[in-house]
Structure 1
Amino acid sequence: MGRTSDARERLLEAGERLFGERSYGAIGVAEISATAGAPKGSFYYYFPSKQEFAVAVIDEHWRRQKEEWSSILSAEGSPVDRLHRLFEATAAVQREAKSGVGAVAGCMFGNLALELSSTEPVIRERLQEIFDTQVDMVGAALGDDRREMATAVVANLEGLVLLAKLRNDPSLIESQWDSTARMLEAGASA
């Protein structure tokens, strides 16, 4: 009986870390393979192209993030309380990244969307699906007929993560929660 390889998982972990530290365009297959401790041939065994690899990394990252979002958004409390916890959890991830590597990582999905949305349609389409699902999840937490508000909340969170990355300051996400709460309150009374 042959030995089971964990090369695919190691490649995905390496890709997620490298995409978080730099960019899609700055990283090659050789570096991904070396970081994973896997032969370059293993990369092409599991992933026919770097683009397909990126989609697999995105999907793995989303699988974990979606579980976290689901847990937070379906927990007890008012919709505003649950969204506040989502913002707090997002800030915590950015604080952890900063304490680990000295820099706010930002959002992998946002980073890749900014870099690749005009050049890699397959990646752009997958990222659109993820952001649409995020809006659906926030909309479900807010209640019926709240898609516009849910879109505004996701856009606000994504924008705050981008600014936190730019300023290398994860506290920006939490410090802007009050303005998000006011937006939600104004939308509820409209």
Structure 2
Amino acid sequence: MTSPQYSDVRQGIIDAALPLFMRRGFTGVGLTEILAAAKVPKGSFYHYFGSKEAFGAAVIDDYFQRTLARIDDLLAQGATGRRGLLNYFEDWRECQLGESSQCLAVKLGAEVSDLSEALRAALHRGTHGITSRLERCIERGVKDGSLAQGLDAKVLAVALYQSWVGASLLAKINHDRAPLDTAMAGTQQVLSLAL
């Protein structure tokens, strides 16, 4: 093996694994392939991670940490809560249409939730982080008048997120953008009705 290409070896291993997991899932990628991509010896892996399962949870947590920072930016860019929500969902649709950009929750959710409690918990933490941010943005929209008074922000946040996860899954199954376009139209309609 060559010397590590990253100054932070732990982060380098995580960074090398993420695109592999996005393409082939958790069980479809072996440790040897991850180590080769990260250019580190096996001992380095076990120095930082006790198992592939612990490593998978670390990759998921890292993915969501980055994703949540991006979501915070997208939601904050909107002059109103409603506009912030639309920014986020427009970005989601465009990311899902790309060849390599996907949602890790969609990719790994069904695969690992019954396989590993640690991986399921990491996915739950991440998805809860997303719905919590959407909920706060809906509350902001109610306060700024861009969304109707009396909305149950938590219910709407979870319903919108579930709709988009389902649309992303159907877009993958069908190799078609139509489910994402339908989710966008439905989101726009719901948010317009919520005025």
Give me the TM-score of the superposition, normalised by structure 1. 0.84
Match of 1:54 among 45, 48, 56: 56
1:93 aligns with: 95
Shift of 1:175: 4.9
Distance of 1:70 and 1:45 partners within structure 2: 33
Instruction: Give CA deviations for 1:37-68 in whole Å, capped at 9, x if unaligned.
Output: 11111111111100111111111111111111
State the partner residue of 2:18: 16
1:85 deviation in Å?
A: 1.2
Q: 2:39 aligns with which of 25, 37, 40?
A: 37
Superposition misfits of 4+ residues, deviation over 4 angstroms: none
Q: What is the aligned-residue identity percentage?
A: 28
| Superposition deviation, residue 171 in structure 1 | 6.3
Paired with 1:53 and 1:64, the residues of 2 have a C-alpha distance of 17
Cα offset, 1:75, TM superposition: 2.2
Structure 2 unaligned spans of 5+: 143-151
Could you say what the CA RMSD is over the residues aligned between the two structures, in angstroms?
Answer: 2.2
Deviation at 1:170, TM superposition (A): 4.5
Find 1:125's aligned residue among 115, 121, 125: 121
Deviation at 1:106, TM superposition (A): 3.4
Which stretch of the first structure deviates more once superposed, 128-137 or 167-176?
A: 167-176
Question: What residue identity is the alignment partner of 1:30?
Answer: T
Structure 2 CA distance for aligned equivalents of residues 60 and 126 of structure 1: 10
Q: Residues of 2 paired with 1:148 and 1:6: CA distance?
A: 40
For residues 178 and 95 of structure 2, the distance between their equivalents in structure 1, rounded to whole angstroms, comes to 11
2:149 maps to: none
Q: Aligned partner of 2:173: which letter?
A: L
Q: Give the one of 143, 154, 157 matched to 1:150.
A: 157
Name the structure 2 match of 1:113. Answer: 109
**2:163 matches 1:161:** no
Amino acid at match of 2:109: A
Where does the alignment leave 5 or more consecutive residues of structure 1 unmatched?
none
Task: Give the equivalent residue in structure 2 for 1:173.
Answer: 180
Provide the rounded CA distance (Å) in 2 between the counterparts of 1:5 and 1:130.
26
Deviations 1:23-50 (A, max 9, x none): 1111111111011111111111111100
